[in-house]
Amino acid sequence: MSHGSEGSVKAIFYALGANFGIALSKYVAAFWTGSGSMLAEAIHSTADCANQLLLLLGLKQARRPASVDFPLGHHRVTYFWSMIVALMLFFMGGAFSVYEGVERLLHPQPLQHGLIAMAVLGGAVVLEAFSLWGALKEIRKIAGSQSFLAWFRETRQSELMVVAGEDIAALLGLALAFVAVAASVATGNPLWDALGTLAIGVVLMVIAIAVMIEVKGLIVGESAAPQLRAEIEGFVAAQPEVEQVLNVITLAWGDRVVIAVKARMRGMETQTGLQMVDAINAVEVRMQERFPNAQWVFFEPDVR
């Protein structure tokens, strides 16, 4: 397992542990208080727990060995499960919350024991912040000086992207739920609780859509991250056997990368076929030493 995958597993377990505890406390509070915002948050946390189990399943399946039917392995299966998780966040979290909010608007119910709900939400914020801290800690190891938004747009680690998106959605949802419950307690008007439930649903749906857009690009076939792509091109151009780089194609493949190079080799006019093969093999060996995640390198000499 690569360092990136190890970081993703740590972030997923941070999130799973936090969300399991949060979900239990929210269900108790929702039952005790009758809060729609609290019930929406409880369903959201339950969906998050299921999502993290699916991400772990995806990482496990990605380690299956290559075969005749899957010659490049199963690394891209993480993209499939990341899309499923994003869809669950949209429907189980966002759409359900919107539905529950509309129901509360049409059939208002008085909020009971609001202070208990606020106490539970406060504890949930602490646990969710711990989960987000774990995800951001792993992201910082990879992103370096990159901003979070730049990393989110450029990362090819779909599972870590999903965990970070879920954690951010959860914290925003908790903040909205706390404000909604506090407003209902202060005014005695259940309308605030219903509006909070609607707002939570909208936030979850917006973040789910953002994640789906990024994961869709990976499923379609994005290149390696821009910085890595530039490093690969520069490395190939600097090899003594290479006279000119004509084209470099990279493809993100889970935690691996596929590289295809077309280049003019030095002395092509005078080299024998065997000498050309030796030169290409030497470049490929150095490339895989420099970029360990480049499990597949395809090199084509050309004069165009």
Q: Does the structure show a pLDDT above 80 at 282?
A: yes
Q: Which amino acid is at 49?
A: C
Asked if pLDDT for residue 36 goes beyond 90, the answer is: no
Q: What are phi and psi of 105, to 5 degrees?
A: -70, -40
Residue 84 has pLDDT above 90, yes or no: yes
Residues 246, 202 share a domain: no
Q: 3-state DSSP call for residue 108?
A: coil
| pLDDT higher than threshold 80 for residue 44 | no
* Co-location of 25 and 91 in the same domain: yes
CA distance linking residue 28 with residue 253, whole number of Å: 42
pLDDT attached to residue 186: 87
pLDDT reading at 136 higher than 70? yes
- Measured CA distances, 93 to 45, 106, 299 (Å): 8, 20, 46
What does the pLDDT average to over 229-249?
A: 93
Find the CATH number of the domain harbouring 295: 3.30.70.1350
Q: Same domain, yes or no, for 207 and 233?
A: no
Residue 21's pLDDT is what? 83
Cβ atoms of 82 and 158 within 8 Å: the answer is yes
User: Same domain for 208 and 276?
Assistant: no
Higher pLDDT, 209 or 35: 209
Average pLDDT over residues 31-59: 81
Cβ atoms 209, 162 nearer than 8 A: no
Q: In this structure, are residues 40 and 101 in contact, taking their beta carbons and an 8 Å threshold?
A: yes
What proportion of the chain, given as a percentage, has pLDDT over 70? 97
* Residue that is last in its domain, among 220, 255, 277: 220
Q: Are residues 181 and 296 in the same domain?
A: no
Do 191 and 255 share a domain, yes or no?
Answer: no
Helices marked H in 144-187: 148-154, 158-187
For 129, the domain range is 3-220
Does 139 lie in the same domain as 25?
yes
Element (H, E) at 250: strand 242-253
* DSSP codes, 118-139: HHHHHHHHHHHHHHHHHHHHHH
Per-residue pLDDT, averaged over 185-198, amounts to 86
Report the DSSP pairing between strands 256-265 and 296-301: parallel
Mean pLDDT of 12-28: 83
Q: Quick one: what percent of the chain has pLDDT higher than 90? A: 31
Residues 165, 268, single domain; the answer is: no
In this prediction, residue 169 carries a pLDDT of 87
171, with CB counted inside 10 A (0-12, 13-18, 19+), is: middle
CA angle 294, 300, 304 (to 5 degrees): 130
Q: Which residues pair with 263 in a beta bridge?
A: 245, 301
| Residue-level pLDDT at 4 | 54
CATH of the domain at 138: 1.20.1510.10
> Between 188 and 282, whose confidence is greater?
282
Structural domain count, the chain: 2
Do residue 114 and residue 156 come from a single domain?
Answer: yes
Q: How far apart are CA 105 and CA 117, in angstroms?
A: 19
Instruction: Tell whether the model's pLDDT for residue 2 goes beyond 60.
Output: no
Whether residue 197 is found in the same domain as residue 233? no
Q: Is residue 235 over pLDDT 90?
A: yes
Last residue of one domain, picked from the residues 204, 220, 236: 220
Answer yes or no: do 16 and 161 share one domain: yes
Residues 53 and 131 in one domain: yes
Q: Please compute the mean of the pLDDT values over residues 272-297 and round it to a whole number.
A: 90
Could you read off the pLDDT of 289-304 as tens digits, one per residue? 999 988 889 999 988 7
State which of 197, 220, 243 marks the end of a domain: 220
Structure tokens at 283: 């470049």
What's the chain's average pLDDT?
86
Average pLDDT value for residue range 41-65: 86
Query: How many angstroms separate the CA atoms of 258 and 295, rounded?
Result: 7
Q: Is the pLDDT of residue 138 over 90?
A: no
Residue among 40, 53, 78, 56 at smallest CA distance from 169: 40
